[in-house]
Chains A and B, each alone.
Chain A
Amino acid sequence: MPVNYIDMARTFKSNAEQVGIVQGHRLCPGCGAPIIAKFTLMTAKKLGFEPVVGLATGCLEVSTTIYPYTAWTVPYIHNAFENVAATMSGVETAAKSLKKFGEIPEDRKFAFIAFAGDGGTYDIGLQSLSGMVERGHKVLYVLYDNEGYMNTGNQRSGGTPTGSNTTTAPVGKVIPGKVQIKKSIVDIIGAHEGVYAATASISDPADFFAKVEKALNFDGPSFIAALSPCTRFWRIPDSATNSVSKLAVETKYWPLYEIDRGVYRVTRKPRQFKPLIEFLKAQGRFKPLLSRPDADEIVNKLQEYVDKRWERLLALEEATKDKYLR
């Protein structure tokens, strides 16, 4: 039975039991990460799963578990920065084994969910994530992508966009901040065999829930990359989390799509797009870039990039239609 979104909206406001992560944590006001965790866990619960979560080191981990408190109402494990996928591989395999030996009843439906930020996913955790997907562990890995090492104070990561101002790739007179292009993480994970990978945005809950549902019912590993605005280091007001997320989708910065066993599907196709500059202008982290004399040139290049990427996505969708691998 698919999840009913009106029901979900009610759940969002209701009790801890149905949500999995509760109030009282110390994440910044307006942080995207707890919303992403909530969306994922409440969908899992609605579908009748018992979530078991693993966390990589990061904002979500440190701010939700400050001794003697915890914001989690589900079983929780944190290991280190680089190995949440490996840790959850172990948890998932052990559960399978315990079921086999009759220690856990066969009918218990667990949802093994790993949460990690972009540092723990794009960079240090990529090896462990690729291993988990390749071995085929039935774990849902949710990336909350705030596009930098925000927990240690805004250092650049493999997920930081071009031109963003960070402490280790500062925008100066000579170097315009980060010059490399953000990794296309969903394509990287989607290129593995037998995996479901998707992007999601908190500004589009219906799409988000549907993807979590698909991921949890998928027979194999799954991966969701959710854009997670960081009010502190994106330099946006606490109230702009949703509007900036929305702009990201509307400007082709964060296209919503999925890769199901090699088949691309663009899940949201806005009729009209806004220029990328609107997304950039809405955030203080791009301000140093936009005040450079060559700002127009750089922005045009970025616009060209997102346009091309969108065209490519549509072409891939066309080309891979119904051509499932495995």
Chain B
Amino acid sequence: MPKMVLMQGDEAAALGAIRAGCRFYAGYPITPASEIAEVMSRELPKVGGVFIQMEDEIASAAAIIGASLAGVKSMTATSGPGFSLMQEAIGYAVMTETPTVFVNVMRGGPSTGLPTKPSQGDIMQARWGTHGDHAIIALYPSSVQEIYKYIITAFNLAEKYRTPVVFLMDETLGHMRENFIMPSEREVFIYNRLREEQIKEEEVFLPYETEEYAEPTPQPLVEMGKARFHVSGLIHDEAGFPMANPDIADRLVRRLVEKIRLHADEISIYDEYMTEDAEVLIIAYGITARSAMRAVKIARNDRIKVGLFRPITIWPVPRTRLKELLSRVNSVIIAEMNLGQYAHEVLSLTKNDVRVKLVNKVNGELITPQEILDAVTELQSGIVGYY
């Protein structure tokens, strides 16, 4: 029987990352993500990794991109204000197709906001924080056990799709301690980076060459010193050299978006509870999903047919499955600790005859099961109109 231990969310993020093969961490202190850096500073040197504390979040984000290009799996962690500063670098990682993991332990915003309180206010920032057309992968677990599990997934997706992955958490998940069982070797899959053999002098290395349109992995990344690798945030050709040719620009931007969009079903991870016969569908993620789970159990006791859909990949949205579920229910509740950011996505998939109720909270407190139950009751009594 594997041993059960008490673990903090931030700690699980750090240890999971190391398990995934992360050997470089650059970060900057910020509540509620500082503990991730603290664990990394202690644990990374033990496995031959490097921890650097940088002068700010701009530098942290840039450093992990540099390290990843040099050949090492890399990560940084921050919270709202720091995540804002990292946006330029996230766009650069998208453009240069650099596998990186950006952890954002969400706290109340905007600005300095509520540093010690949980929030889910950065859902849209994770998607659209950096400028220009792009696609992004963002994961959001609901427990300490899942943080460990899915941060490994985050690294795998980053490597496979050669893209930055945003790993969302919230202050409660980050600071909460709960039971944790260390997964065995068999339970963990690690995607290792494809490595290029030494490139011959006369051979041209094309790091951005793709065999077919939206092939997720273009060329394998090369390790330092094995080829001349030209990296630029400018629109570039297959060799990485800047080009202002309209055809090349069009092809590159579309490919960056399509490589995620076309594989959305493959990337999508979600969880469902009692959705088979549900008439009311609750959609919640992160820490809020745990209140929603409780609400479903209570409602089921009262014989109300309620089900829970919990997206774990916030981006891309698990559209196929979500659409299917939304076509079967008569009403939907979207509970989130923001003023309806994920609801936008759900509403775009909802038909007109489905009644919608939003449960939102931005005061730094968690959404309680009762608040979700109240929404169920309201929908049942029919006093809520169509959205």
Residues of A within 8 A of B30 (CB): 152
Residue A152 contacts which of B29, B42, B56, B57 (CB distance < 8 angstroms)? B29
Residue B42 contacts which of A62, A81, A149, A170 (CB distance < 8 angstroms)? A170
B251-277 interface mask toward A, CB cutoff 8 Å, 1 = contact, 0 = none? 000000000000000000000000000
How many chain-B residues does the 8 Å CB contact rule pick out? 20
Interface centre among A123, A152, A158 (most CB of B within 10 A): A152
Residues of B within 8 A of A155 (CB): 29, 34, 37-38, 53
Query: SS class of chain A's interface: helix, strand, loop or mixed?
Result: loop
Determine the residue in chain B with the shortest Cβ distance to A167.
B38
The smallest beta-carbon distance between B177 and chain A, in angstroms, is 16
Residue B55 contacts which of A126, A152, A167 (CB distance < 8 angstroms)? A126
* Contact of A158 with B29 at beta-carbon distance under 8 Å, contacts A153-B34, A168-B37 already known: no
Asked whether A170 lies within 8 Å of B34 as measured between CB atoms, the reply is no
- Chain B CB within 8 A of A1 CB: no
Q: B295-354: which residues lie under 8 A (CB-CB) from chain A?
A: none
- Chain A CB within 8 A of B285 CB: no
Q: A153-176: which residues lie under 8 A (CB-CB) from chain B?
A: 153, 155-156, 158, 167-170, 172, 174-175
Docked complex Cα distance between A82 and B81 (Å): 10
Asked whether B55 lies within 8 Å of A124 as measured between CB atoms, the reply is yes
Query: SS class of chain B's interface: helix, strand, loop or mixed?
Result: mixed
The smallest beta-carbon distance between A275 and chain B, in angstroms, is 30
Residues of A within 8 A of B37 (CB): 155, 167-168
Residue A123 contacts which of B31, B34, B56, B85 (CB distance < 8 angstroms)? B56
Residue A82 contacts which of B45, B56, B111 (CB distance < 8 angstroms)? B56
- Chain A CB within 8 A of B41 CB: yes
Asked whether B112 lies within 8 Å of A80 as measured between CB atoms, the reply is yes
Residues of A within 8 A of B53 (CB): 155-156, 168-169
A62-74 interface mask toward B, CB cutoff 8 Å, 1 = contact, 0 = none? 1000000000000
Residues of B within 8 A of A82 (CB): 56, 85
- Chain B CB within 8 A of A255 CB: no
- Chain A CB within 8 A of B24 CB: no
- Chain A CB within 8 A of B180 CB: no
Interface residues on A, range: 20 to 34
Residues of A within 8 A of B55 (CB): 122-124, 126, 158
The smallest beta-carbon distance between A289 and chain B, in angstroms, is 16
The smallest beta-carbon distance between B262 and chain A, in angstroms, is 39
B47-64 interface mask toward A, CB cutoff 8 Å, 1 = contact, 0 = none? 000010101110000000
Q: Point out residues on B near A: beta carbons under 8 Å.
A: 28-31, 34, 37-38, 41-42, 45, 51, 53, 55-57, 81, 85, 111-112, 115
Q: List 28 A-B contacts (CB under 8 A).
A: A57-B112, A80-B81, A82-B56, A82-B85, A123-B55, A123-B56, A124-B28, A124-B55, A124-B57, A152-B31, A153-B29, A153-B38, A155-B34, A155-B37, A158-B55, A167-B34, A167-B37, A167-B41, A168-B29, A168-B38, A168-B41, A168-B53, A169-B41, A169-B53, A170-B41, A172-B42, A172-B45, A174-B45
